[in-house]
């Protein structure tokens, strides 16, 4: 043993102190991390809640689904219709839907399971079908014909086959 080598006793004492300090700092960092995560969680829940805060048009997905399947297409005025469109894995109900050319169509759209995308090809209709939320979009088909409803929100295995049809019947005298 040379003069510069610490004695075994000193080394042992040093390690004991160093390990105690390490344990203290590890413990403190765990406390700090926990506080940070709890704080972040608190402020997120405080600001946004754990559910979608949309009173009024938010329903229970199953209730909305039951309503929708019984309502389908409803005449709401002389030249106006409401179409209750339910998105579900992996189809649109009802389909096909018949609406008249030139009428004001209000699409009420919801989902009974996961997010779907309600897009009607060849139109500007494009919105997300959200479970528990009834979205609406108003559209008038100027031309008769068959329009495809496609799902543009990835929703699982059969997403790409989730097709629906809207058949726009020619207006009387057109």
Q: Interface with ligand CUA by CB under 6 A: which residues?
A: 90, 116, 151, 153-155, 159, 162
Structure tokens at 102: 């030139």
Please say which residue, 84 or 116, places its beta carbon nearer to ligand CUA: 116
Beta bridge pairs of residue 106: 82, 138
Please say which residue, 105 or 112, places its beta carbon nearer to ligand CUA: 112
Give me Rg for the CA atoms of the chain: 30
Residue 151 Cβ vs ligand CUA, minimum distance, rounded to whole Å: 3
- Among candidate residues 111, 109, 151, the one with its CA nearest the CA of residue 132: 111
Structure tokens at 151: 């799902």
Residue 90 Cβ vs ligand CUA, minimum distance, rounded to whole Å: 6
Please state, in angstroms and rounded to a whole number, the distance separating the CA atoms of residues 163 and 63.
Answer: 23
Residue 87 Cβ vs ligand CUA, minimum distance, rounded to whole Å: 6
Please say which residue, 100 or 159, places its beta carbon nearer to ligand CUA: 159
Please say which residue, 81 or 111, places its beta carbon nearer to ligand CUA: 111
Please state, in angstroms and rounded to a whole number, the distance separating the CA atoms of residues 56 and 75.
Answer: 23
DSSP class of 95: -
Residue 53 Cβ vs ligand CUA, minimum distance, rounded to whole Å: 25
Please say which residue, 144 or 163, places its beta carbon nearer to ligand CUA: 163
Residue 94 Cβ vs ligand CUA, minimum distance, rounded to whole Å: 16
Please state, in angstroms and rounded to a whole number, the distance separating the CA atoms of residues 35 and 29.
Answer: 10
């Amino acid at each position: 043993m040379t003069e510069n080598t610490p004695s075994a006793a000193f080394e042992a004492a040093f390690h004991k102190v160093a390990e105690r300090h390490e344990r203290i700092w590890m413990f403190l960092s765990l406390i700090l991390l926990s506080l940070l995560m709890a704080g972040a969680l608190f402020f997120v829940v405080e600001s946004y809640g754990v559910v979608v805060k949309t009173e009024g048009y938010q329903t229970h997905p199953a209730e909305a689904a039951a309503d929708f399947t019984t309502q389908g297409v409803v005449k709401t005025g002389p030249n106006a219709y409401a179409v209750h469109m339910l998105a579900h894995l992996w189809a649109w109900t009802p389909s096909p839907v018949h609406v008249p050319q030139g009428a004001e169509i209000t699409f009420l759209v919801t989902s009974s399971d996961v997010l779907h995308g309600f897009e009607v090809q060849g139109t500007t209709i494009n919105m997300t079908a959200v479970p528990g939320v009834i979205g609406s979009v108003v559209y008038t088909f100027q031309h008769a014909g068959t329009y495809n409803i496609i799902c543009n929100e990835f929703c699982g295995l059969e997403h790409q086959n989730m097709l629906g049809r809207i058949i726009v019947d020619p207006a009387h005298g057109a």
